[in-house]
Amino acid sequence: MAAISARRRALGLVIGLLVACPTAAYAETAAPTPPATPPSTAPAAPVGPAPFPMPMDTGPKMLAQAATAQRALKLLQPDLQRALKERNDLQKHWDRLTAQLVYLDDVRSQTIANLDAARDRLGKSAAQAYMSSGGGQLNAALGVVQGASDVLDLSRDMHLISTYGEHEIDVVEELDARKHALDDQILDVSHERTRAKYDLERATARVETVQKQVADAKKSLLVARTELNRFKLLATTAGSPIMGPNRLTAAQLAAFLENNGYKPHLTVTVDQLATYYIEEGAKVGIRGDVAFAQSILETGGFNFGGSMVEIPDNNFAGIGACDSCHRGFIFPDARTGVRAQMQLLRVYVDPTVTIDSLPDPLLLPRTLNLGFRGRVQSWWDLTGTWATAKDYGIRVYDLYMRMVQQSEAAAALARVAAANAKLPATAATAAPARPAVP
């Protein structure tokens, strides 16, 4: 392991009594140095990086905002579908009632016209009977014209009307009854349409409310994603926050080890371990991809050669390995070891952490009493707290940026290859044309 300063020895003696602390004795000498790997850009005399150009809590805030917006959208989408269905059903119902009213009004108008015509014919029939039989029944005949309800009662006893206008009386009676029925039906439909209009307006307002909530959630999610992308672009030095989003994927983490000739010795596959770093980091808001670089530095690319921790310990960050300690902490499996590292980084950053405030129970509760809780924000700040090596934070982040650069280069090559695969054959690749015959 690399030489440890006198300050580190003193620090280990004190802290080792409380709980085994992380070490600066990263097994760098065990890591291979492939020819293709660019040399470290860490300065010989480390100088603190420029301040991060965004608030240090941007990462966790935007991650929380994005998660809240996504949860809201997940809940609102079914609500919106139900509200739209209810509104559309009520709109169809209101349209049917409106069409029914139009139809009934047309039928009523035609019935009234037919009733007027029938009364006219009945009046003419009464006049004809009067001229044929004399004027003794004139008043009764005139009553027929004035109102069917009175005439119908009289007509039953009038031989004159029954002889010449009985059919017309039946027609008038039927049409008048139909008109009254239509009036009642139109009144009922009108009342139902009024209620439907109220329900439709209520359902429309509900749709508008949910649509606004969806729009607000989408806007919030867009803002969060935009800020997180900006965070990733600006997080290029060790002065960037420990908490925040992952930039690299588990596949990219594993590929870095493979492409740079590291020979990990693990209790799980490299792919599985890389997945743990992304998942466990995301659970507590820690940048797991940078923590993966930290572990590469601490363990010599997970080789553990010359380290105070051994392969079965599943301890990837020298937790508990100090000068006064016989051996670092031992964790039952790889995920637990990664989780302990992520939780400890969170403790270093967040002064509000308690035993049960994280998604999983705190694995090392005594770390709350180390005196480092909430004292650091950036990877640079780990110098003198996680480890005493004066370039610790810079070397962690320098290694991480190499991972980022190699991953971006590989992604760019993959995009070019994919684009070339879609291109048609060019003149350079096509079969040469036959030369013209002179």
pLDDT in tens, 357-380: 999 999 999 989 878 889 999 999
- 195 in the same domain as 266: no
Whether residue 179 is found in the same domain as residue 251: no
Confidence bin at 431 (pLDDT 50/70/90): very low
Q: Are residues 347 and 249 in the same domain?
A: yes
Average pLDDT over residues 35-52: 61
For range 40-56, the mean pLDDT: 73
Residue 324: band (very low, low, confident or very high) from pLDDT cuts 50, 70, 90: low
Q: What is the mean pLDDT of residues 332-344?
A: 97
Please report whether residue 79 resides in a domain: yes
Rounded to the nearest integer, the mean pLDDT of the chain is 83
Within-domain flag for 236: no
pLDDT at 35: 44
Asked if residue 99 has pLDDT above 50, the reply is: yes
Looking at residue 338, its pLDDT comes to 98
Q: Is residue 358 part of a domain?
A: yes
- For residues 260 and 206, membership in a common domain is answered with no
188 lies in the same domain as 110: yes
- Please indicate, yes or no, if residue 303 is contained in any of the structural domains: yes
Would the pLDDT of 305 be above 90?
no
Provide the pLDDT for residue 92. Answer: 96
pLDDT value at 3 more than 90:
no
Predicted pLDDT at 145: 52
Which range among 77-81, 160-164, 235-239, 302-306 shows the weakest confidence by mean pLDDT?
160-164
pLDDT at 33 over 80: no
191 plus 331 within the same structural domain: no
| Average pLDDT of span 47-65 | 92
Where residue 197 falls among pLDDT bands split at 50, 70, 90? very high
Q: Please indicate, yes or no, whether residues 85 and 141 belong to a single structural domain of this protein.
A: yes
**Domain for residue 377, yes or no?**
yes
pLDDT value, residue 198: 96
Q: The pTM is what?
A: 0.71
Residues 403, 257 within the same domain: yes
* 432, part of any domain: no
- What percentage of residues in the chain have a pLDDT greater than 70? 76
Domain coverage including residue 299: 6-52+241-420
Q: Percent of the chain at pLDDT above 90?
A: 62
Question: 167 and 257, same structural domain?
Answer: no
- 33 and 135 housed in the same domain: no
Residue 59 in any domain: the answer is: no
Range 106-114 average pLDDT: 93
User: What pLDDT band is residue 283 in, cutting at 50, 70 and 90?
Assistant: very high
User: 267 and 135 in one domain?
Assistant: no
Q: How many domains does the chain have?
A: 2
Q: Is 109's pLDDT higher than 50?
A: yes
- pLDDT interval class at 424 (50, 70, 90): confident
Query: In the prediction, which pLDDT does 352 show?
Result: 93
Q: What is the 3-state secondary structure (H, E, C) of the chain?
A: CCCCCHHHHHHHHHHHHHCCCCCCCCCHHHCCCCCCCCCCCCCCCCCCCCCCCCCCCHHHHHHHHHHHHHHHHHHHHHHHHHHHHHHHHHHHHHHHHHHHHHHHHHHHHHHHHHHHHHHHHHHHHHHHHHHHHCHHHHHHHHHHHHCHHHHHHHHCCCHHHHHHCHHHHHHHHHHHHHHHHHHHHHHHHHHHHHHHHHHHHHHHHHHHHHHHHHHHHHHHHHHHHHHHHHHHHHCCCCCCECECCCCCCHHHHHHHHHHCCCCCCCCCCHHHHHHHHHHHHHHHCECHHHHHHHHHHHHCCCCCCCCCCCHHHCCCCCCCCCCCCCCCCCCCCHHHHHHHHHHHHHHHHCCCCCCCCCCCCCCCHHHHHCCCCCCCCECHHHECCCECCCCHHHHHHHHHHHHHHHHHHHHHHHHHHHHHHHCCCCCCCCCCCCCCCC
Q: Which region among 31-35, 40-44, 283-287, 368-372 has the lowest average model confidence (pLDDT)?
A: 31-35
Average pLDDT over residues 393-415: 96
Flag whether 406 is in a domain.
yes
- Identify the pLDDT of residue 38: 52
387 and 343 in one domain?
yes
Average pLDDT on 426-438 reads: 46
Average pLDDT over residues 176-188: 93
Q: What is the pLDDT of residue 121?
A: 82
pLDDT of residue 363: 96
Among the residue ranges 14-28, 268-282, 306-320, the one predicted with the least confidence is 14-28
Residue 19 has pLDDT above 50, yes or no: no
